[in-house]
Amino acid sequence: MATRRRSIAAALASSSFFFLLLSAGLSHGQLQVGFYSQSCPNAEAIVASVVRQAGASNPTLLPALIRLQFHDCFVRGCDGSVLIKGGNNKAEVDNNKHQGLRGLDVIDGAKAQLEAQCPGVVSCADIVVLAARDAVAFTGGPSFDVPTGRRDSKVSNLRDADSLPDVKDGIDVLRSKFAANGLSEKDLVLLSAAHTVGTTACFFIQDRLYNFPLPGGAVGSDPTIPPGFLSELKARCAPGDFNTRLSLDRGSEGVFDTSIFRNIRNGFAVIGSDAALYNATSTVDVVDSYSGLLSTFFGPYFRQDFADAMVRMGSIGVITGKNNNGEVRKVCSKFN
């Protein structure tokens, strides 16, 4: 699937906000590029405008929106279930695996505008996927089409999120969780590379720095972290510091580029799940293939492949068609 490098300004000026990376009407299962072209022609432009404004006021929301799609799609599929706010901490979003999740208010803002213009038409699940696509573009990543037509889930359970990939997962567990969602080891590497932008909280690396299991039942620091980098991380994240934030892509947190692969290759991955990508030959080979400076010119092409992986992830477990298995919510945070 090709990606097109064109400015966001030009894209927003387009009445359809499609880049023709997929032909109009091309479908993925029952999803379809341009699904709302007749029922709500400005749907994608409205979402893009809301995301652009949110990113302008708080740039950290853009990586958060990319992460939001991952957290929605990997639990029950891309069905908007992560957006539900339930009572008594029983909704999916209340699971600790969703710790630090942000951007839900951006989705709510887009939904409010869409309901004002096209009541009951655009699903929250589609807004999540569109917002993530736009957030990628607004951080300097590729612009690409995503098929739409998802319906929203009528279910959101706390324990369903237990299966979400975790920063502490080893490579075998990560591969298994991705395979369970129909994604390959290459997809695992590419989607992890979304960490080319954004930050993480010290909360997510405390165990890697101070409570990592060592031989003989001891605990300490992950021995795979280079000594100089370990000192750097400990200087930023003292024991018990859960809130300080640091770049996921050392030295390049604000730019969508391939430096994340070189950081992983050189031992400078910040979170454990990124570091784990260099612990199996199959994923090492993928990381290395994007690490070389010449890959930008001769391939493999990270921007195009990342866009493809995002589209594949966006197709996990979707609810489509007019049936009793889904709905189009009026408000994203609660069922109709």
Per residue, what are the HEC states of the chain? CCCECCCHHHHHHCCCCCCCCCCCCCEECCEECCCCCCCCCCHHHHHHHHHHHHHHHCCCHHHHHHHHHHHHHCCCCCCCHHHCCCHHHCCHHHCHHHCCCCCHHHHHHHHHHHHHHCCCCCCHHHHHHHHHHHHHHHCCCCECCCCECCCECCCCCHHHHHHCCCCCCCHHHHHHHHHHCCCCHHHHHHHHHHHHCCEEEHHHCHHHHHCEECHHHCEECCCCCCHHHHHHHHHHCCCCCCCCEEECCCCCCCCCCCHHHHHHHCCCCCCHHHHHHHCCHHHHHHHHHHHCCCHHHHCCCHHHHHHHHHHHHCCCCCCCCCCCCCECCCECCECC
- Asked if residue 207 belongs to a known ligand binding site, the reply is no
**From the candidates 28, 67, 71, 76, which is the catalytic residue?**
71
How many other CB atoms are found less than 10 A from the CB of residue 293?
A: 8
- Asked if residue 98 belongs to a known ligand binding site, the reply is no
- Asked if residue 283 belongs to a known ligand binding site, the reply is no
Residue 28 annotated as catalytic: no
- Asked if residue 72 belongs to a known ligand binding site, the reply is yes
- Asked if residue 192 belongs to a known ligand binding site, the reply is no
**CB-based contact 92:85 (threshold 8 Å):** no
- Asked if residue 257 belongs to a known ligand binding site, the reply is yes
- Asked if residue 81 belongs to a known ligand binding site, the reply is yes
- Asked if residue 165 belongs to a known ligand binding site, the reply is yes
- Asked if residue 162 belongs to a known ligand binding site, the reply is no
- Asked if residue 33 belongs to a known ligand binding site, the reply is no
In the annotated binding site for Ca(2+), the residues are 72, 75, 77, 79, 81, 92, 196, 249, 257
Residue stretches of the annotated binding site for substrate = 165
Q: Which residue ranges are tagged as binding site for heme b? A: 195
Active site residues: 71
Binding-site residue positions: 72, 75, 77, 79, 81, 92, 165, 195-196, 249, 257
